[in-house]
Amino acid sequence: MDLKSSLGNINVDESLKGIKRIVLSVFPTPLQKGFTHEKGVTIWLKRDDLTGLGLGGNKVRKLEFLLGDALDKGCDTLVTFGALQSNHARLTAAAGAVCGMEVHLVLAVKENSNSTNVGGNIDVARHFGASIHFVEGDVLEAESFARDLCSSLSQKKKNPYFIPVGGSNGLSTLGYTVAMSETVRQIDEKHIKTSGLYVASSTRGTQAGLVAGLALIKSRHIRSGYSRDSIPKVVGVDVSQSTPRTNVVKFARGALDALGRGELEIENEVFFADTGNLEKNFSEYGRLTKSADEASIYAAKNLGIILDRTYCAKAFAALLNDIDRGMFSKGDNVVFLASGGHPSMFSSPGFPS
C-alpha cells in the first residue's frame, strides 16, 4: 500500500509509490479536547494510545513500515530488543502475530533482578506467541545478543529481520511523518489555533517523524490550504538522556530522503522542553520521578486516561511544568501526544500512590 490515502493533499508525490507499508491499525486516531487548565490553557489529546493493535501505542505506526519492508524482503522472523518492559517489543509481537511471522524479543534485565516473570508487557508479548530471551545487563548487551541471534537463525535457514531499539530508524520514522499530516488535518478541521505539540522522546523516532512531517507541511501550506495557526511547534520531552538528541535530525532526514524531499530544512524545527527545574534525574532512562507520578495521577483524575510512569507521564509533566511557568497564555491550545504504554503499569512497581 502506498501513502496517498494517509497523507491526503499535503505531501503526496510520485516518490511515495515504492514505499511498502502494512496497515496494522485503525487511523486516524482521535484528537480529543481534554480539559482547560486552571491557567486557561486548553489541553488536547492526540490518542495514539488507541492505535488498536496489541493494546495500542505509538510503535504501531513505525511497525507498519518496518513490516512492510520485512515482508517485501521475504523475511519470516522478526528479532528486536529493548528494556524489560518494552512497549515496542510487545507491539512487535502483536505485529508478527498478525503477519504470521516468528518473533524473538531480547529484553535487558538488571543484575540480580527477579522481575522477568512479572506481568505487564512481558505477559502480553507471551500471549502473542513471541519467544522471549532475557539478557542480564543493559540494552547494549541485549542488542549484541539480538544480532547474534539473527546469525543463529540464519544458520537454521530462517530469514530474520532485525529491528532496532524502539523500532526507530529513517524508514520507520515515516509513520509519524504521516501522523503529523493526520494531526494537522484534525486541528484544522476543529479550527484550533495551536501553540505546541508535546511528545515523549526516547529513541527519537516519534519526534523525528513529527519534525519531518512539519517540514513537509510548511513547505506546502499554501497549496494545502491549511492555516499556519493549525501547524503546531513540536516539543520533545527527553526521557532518555543517554540517547543522542541528534538522532531527531538523523531519522527525520532519513524519512525525507525516502520521500525525495531531502532538501528541506529541519534543524530549526527541533525543540526540547526545558525540564531543568524538575528532578535532577528526570531524563534518565526508566527513572521513576515524583513529577511524572503526579502528572500520571493528574491525567487520570482530570482526563480519565492512563499515562505510564517513565515515558508518557514525563512528557505530560513537562507540559504541565511549562504551563505553570507561564510559557502559554490564557486561551492557548496545546496538543499532547498520548503515546500509550499503559500495560507496564500492571507490572512492578505498578501505579503511583
- 126 with 158, same domain: the answer is yes
- 184 with 51, same domain: the answer is yes
Beta-ladder partners of 340: none
8 or 104, which is more confident: 104
- 270 with 326, same domain: the answer is yes
- 100 with 78, same domain: the answer is yes
pLDDT tens profile 260-269: 899 999 999 9
pLDDT at site 249: 97
pTM of the predicted protein model: 0.93
Structural domain ending residue among the three candidates 150, 167, 184: 167
Range of the domain at 255: 4-58+169-346
- 79 with 177, same domain: the answer is no
- 178 with 87, same domain: the answer is no
| Cα angle: 12, vertex 14, 18; to 5 degrees | 105
Average pLDDT, the chain: 90
Beta-ladder partners of 35: 43
pLDDT at site 27: 87
pLDDT tens profile 322-331: 999 999 999 9
Whether residue 232 is preceded by a cis peptide bond, meaning omega within 30 degrees of 0, is: no
Number of domains present in the structure of the chain: 2
pLDDT at site 9: 31
pLDDT tens profile 173-211: 999 999 998 999 999 999 999 999 999 999 999 999 999
- 288 with 273, same domain: the answer is yes
- 190 with 328, same domain: the answer is yes
- 197 with 322, same domain: the answer is yes
Structural domain ending residue among the three candidates 167, 199, 234: 167
pLDDT at site 110: 83
**25 within some domain:** yes
pLDDT at site 5: 37
- 63 with 52, same domain: the answer is no
CA–CA gap between residue 189 and residue 123 (Å, rounded)? 40
- Residues 6 or more apart whose CB falls under 8 angstroms from that of 187 comprise 31, 194, 230, 231, 232, 335
Q: Which of 313, 317, 308, 309 is nearest to 288 (CA)?
A: 309
pLDDT category at 230 given cuts 50, 70, 90 is confident
**285 within some domain:** yes
**351 within some domain:** no
pLDDT at site 90: 98
**257 within some domain:** yes
- 243 with 317, same domain: the answer is yes
**135 within some domain:** yes
Output the domain CATH number for residue 216: 3.40.50.1100
**352 within some domain:** no
- 243 with 328, same domain: the answer is yes
Q: Which of 248, 335, 349, 294 is nearest to 47 (CA)?
A: 335
pLDDT at site 1: 36
Question: Read out DSSP for 153-175?
Answer: HHHTT--EEE--GGG-STTTTHH
Phi-psi region of 293 (alpha: psi -120 to 50; beta: other; left: phi over 0): alpha
Structural domain ending residue among the three candidates 167, 202, 237: 167
CA–CA gap between residue 303 and residue 118 (Å, rounded)? 28
